Amino acid sequence: MRIGVYPGTFDPITLGHMDIIRRGAKLVDRLIIGVTTNIAKSPLFDDDERIAMVKAEVAGIEGNIEVVGFNSLLMDFADAQGASIVIRGIRGVTDFEYEYQLTGMNRQLNARVETVFLMADVSLQPIASRLVKEIAIFGGDIHKFVTPSVRDAVVGRIAERGLLQGDR
């Protein structure tokens, strides 16, 4: 059985992530979406909220998909899941440069696991969770970047935390 891991913080999960999940699920027998916390980022949603959000968003996607939280090195997580593939989405050159370096480091940690890069759909390439949050914080419409339920969760969290900025 070919097992793949698609890791990310998914804060929030975007239409770009969903595109990679749909396409990645076709490449493996089982796709594990690993939801993690990036210590360099301050998430809008906690781990359990992000896991629940991802589970809800992928519920209708065809394929053997599982959502698992993790807080370890990616290669350790991949090993624990029995994965031989890590799937990464690439939006552009900047993503590639970062992912290229990360892949090299991961290969030093575990050469058994291959990294597969999937180019984001052209219409989805500009989408980044960080930018979605920034747009929402300034009162912009994020419906083109996330599903309605994710949009409601983001807007609700921003209101709840009093983060709305700009001229209202």
Q: Which residues have a catalytic role annotated?
A: 17, 41, 91, 129
Which candidate, 14, 8, 113, 116, places its Cα nearest to that of 67?
Answer: 8
Contact (Cβ atoms closer than 8 angstroms) between residue 120 and residue 16: yes
Q: What is the 3-state secondary structure (H, E, C) of 97-138?
A: HHHHHHHHHHHHHCCCCEEEEEECCHHHCCCCHHHHHHHHHC
